[in-house]
Amino acid sequence: MWYVLELYAYPRILIMPCRKSKPNRYAFVGILLNILVILIVASPLIAAADDLLTVKVETVIDGDTIKVRYRGQRFLVRLWGIDTPEYHQPFSKVAKKYTVDLVKNSTVRLKKKDWDKYGRMVAIVTMEDGRCLNEELLKAGYSWVHIYYCREAICDKWKEYEKGARRKRIGLWRDNSPVPPWVHKRKQMRKKW
Residue 45's pLDDT is: 54
CATH class as words, domain 52-187 = mainly beta
pLDDT of residue 44: 52
Q: Which of 25, 58, 120, 166 is catalytic?
A: 120
Catalytic status, residue 120? yes
Rounded to an integer, what distance in angstroms lies between the CA atom of residue 93 and that of residue 158? 22
Catalytic residue among 19, 69, 86, 169: 86
Active site annotation includes 78: yes
CA distance 162 to 136: 10
Kindly compute the dihedral angle of the four CA atoms of residues 144, 153, 110, 35, in this order, to the nearest 10 degrees: -110
Biggest CA pair distance of the chain: 85
Ordered by start, the domain boundaries in the chain are 52-187
Q: What is the pLDDT along the chain (193 residues), one digit of tens a residue?
A: 444 444 444 445 555 555 555 566 677 777 767 676 566 655 555 545 557 999 999 999 999 999 999 999 999 999 999 999 999 999 999 999 999 999 999 999 999 999 999 999 999 999 999 999 999 999 999 999 998 999 999 999 999 999 999 999 999 999 999 999 999 888 888 877 7
pLDDT reported for residue 21: 54
Name the active-site residue from 78, 135, 136, 162: 78
